[in-house]
Amino acid sequence: MKKNALMFAVMAAAAIACSEKKEITPEVPARQFIDGKTVLFATMEQTKASVDEAGSFTWVAGDKISVYTTGGEFVDFTCTGIKDGKGVFEAEGEVTVDEVAAYPAGSHSYTDGILTFNFPSDYEWVDGQTNVPLVAHFDEGAGEISFRHIGGVMKISYSDLPVRAAQLVFTSADKRITGDFTVSAATTSDAVAEAESGVDEGNVVTIHFPEEKGSAKVFYVPLPTGVYDDIKVALKDAAGNAVPFAVTKAHSAKNTIERRTVLTMPELKGPKYVVTTELGGPSVKNQNDGTKATAGVNSVTGLSWDTQGNLWFTDRNRLLRCYGTDGNVKTYQSAAAENVIWGIAVNSADDVFYCDKPNKKVYKSVAPYTSQTLLCTLPNQAICNAFDADGNLYVTCWDKNVYKINTSTGSYEAITGLGANPNGIVINSKGEIIVTGSGFRGIARLNGDGTNSTLAGKYGAKVTDPSDGEAGKPKTADVGSCFGVCVDENDYIWWIDYEYCRLRVLVPDDNGDYTKGTVTTVAGSTIKNNGENYADGTGTAAKFSYTTAIVYNPDKKEFFIADGAYNKALRKVKVTW
């Protein structure tokens, strides 16, 4: 049914069977039998209920109604067009209408005068169309079928749909809203289908729509009448996984759906990833301390938050620095001249740990951070580090291993399972060790038994037009050589792709399985690791070059990214709605 404005009551006329060929005559209030088909007519009458103030509902070709017959079954009639303002519905053969009819056509039953109407859980979205539930009682003497509303409609507007969004999921925590419902008083104007209590089944409606980056859509969700105490709407991708940072709206106030009425929900907006330069930039090119406006960076190689919200970073070649909550940058110490420090991790005591990459060393610095203590020396170059929930330090090493280090004694043990050198490292809330690399161009998880699981990436050669791959199949994505990786509060894996110059995310499926998740690019696009690849902007309009580290602030929904050798900047990606 086509949406143009005011809702309606529907009148359809049944006609007398006729074996001879003649013109379809809507003015005759009777069933017509023409050229082997039974023809019914449907008209619209405006009511006080409104879906869209812009126009009225009309039948469109292809609409189907289910008509109960004297044979004790439902037969579908299809709208073939409009004649004299009336919808023309046809069915093959001679059909004798009896008792009731329903729109949209579907799973209905009618037993002993009781009509059961099915509210489906899945809908295919069509622009400007919705399946407003109607039923009708047929009076043979009156020669007409009068359709009436048995429920209401919830209207949801969504703008700036995120990349990969393909499903709108509506949930009622306290009501069963899909399935078979008995329609009360089907012969009167007050016929309704009442939403039932119960959360075990039938409390989710999914509307499927094509993936269209950045588009806006209006959704109409037909619902049984009732008061809904907890309404939520969310977006998922085609594989059924949550879309990264898609807004999930919960409405705690009571929301009432009445017969013939429309409940208009607040407009929802998808996330925008706004990239700005926080410190430095190509025009600055210094390592000065000071305010955000004056301070510069050289090539940041590691980022980590302390418990006070200060952002610590290693600045190549030798500086340990901090970007404080007061907005100032301060250098705390300089390593020996030959050192090139990489990677940084701050523990719960605000002790700072970082790697001297070429010299294979791991250092510890404690307040007031004016000196460093050697924690241990590893078998090969030390790159990046991260803490687990128990305070153990994990360091990636270019002997194809990750080392678990006791921060009190400096003793360590190898966590094996990689066939190439790891770079970035993060440990999620489940204690899983996740690493990026250069040689294997992918995201991997160390399993603790000498093996690893590929989570994303093809582990192939560099490509010129990297793809995010198929939804639900992250190993079909092109993942470049990477360093910086982090996880958010949902254990989504975020990384800044060093080789492909973009911010990307792996969202697991609803069961938390990364291998069945979906890769999405949210910012950056141009592959050019040089001084030309620098631009602030929103989403893929932004440009990065030689990115080496990333951290996430869940409270502010923002990322900080080390944008290295050419751009000499600390970039911020703010998620906004």
pLDDT digits (tens, 9 = 90+) for 259-291: 877 788 888 888 899 999 999 999 898 899 999
Asked whether the predicted pLDDT for residue 10 surpasses 90, the reply is no
Contact between 463 and 480 (Cβ < 8 Å): no
Calpha distance 516→279 (Å, rounded): 37
Strand-pair partners of 172: 231
pLDDT at 70: 85
Calpha distance 37→246 (Å, rounded): 49
Q: What single letter denotes the amino acid at residue 414?
A: A
pLDDT at 4: 36
Mean pLDDT to the nearest integer, 560-577: 94
pLDDT at 302: 96
Domain architecture of the chain: domains with CATH: 6-269 (no CATH), 272-296+368-576 (2.120.10.30)
pLDDT band at 253 (very low <50, low <70, confident <90, very high): low
pLDDT at 42: 66
Pairing of strands 108-111, 179-183: unpaired
pLDDT at 20: 36
pLDDT digits (tens, 9 = 90+) for 323-342: 999 999 999 998 776 778 99
Calpha distance 28→408 (Å, rounded): 94
Asked whether the predicted pLDDT for residue 565 surpasses 90, the reply is no
pLDDT digits (tens, 9 = 90+) for 129-142: 777 888 887 765 55
Asked whether the predicted pLDDT for residue 558 surpasses 70, the reply is yes
pLDDT digits (tens, 9 = 90+) for 36-73: 898 877 655 444 333 444 445 667 788 888 988 888 89
The CA dihedral of 98, 102, 104, 110, to the nearest 10 degrees, is -90
pLDDT at 345: 98
Contact between 345 and 393 (Cβ < 8 Å): yes
pLDDT at 9: 26
Asked whether the predicted pLDDT for residue 82 surpasses 90, the reply is no
> Would you say how long the chain is, in residues?
577
pLDDT at 415: 96
pLDDT at 174: 85
pLDDT band at 504 (very low <50, low <70, confident <90, very high): very high
Calpha distance 455→473 (Å, rounded): 9
Asked whether the predicted pLDDT for residue 78 surpasses 90, the reply is yes
Dihedral sign from CA coordinates of 268, 271, 272, 276: positive
Q: Among 170, 141, 149, which residue's Cα sits nearest to residue 9?
A: 149
pLDDT at 191: 82
pLDDT band at 19 (very low <50, low <70, confident <90, very high): very low
Q: Among 382, 395, 381, which residue's Cα sits nearest to residue 425?
A: 395
pLDDT digits (tens, 9 = 90+) for 96-134: 887 788 888 888 888 888 889 999 999 998 887 777 888
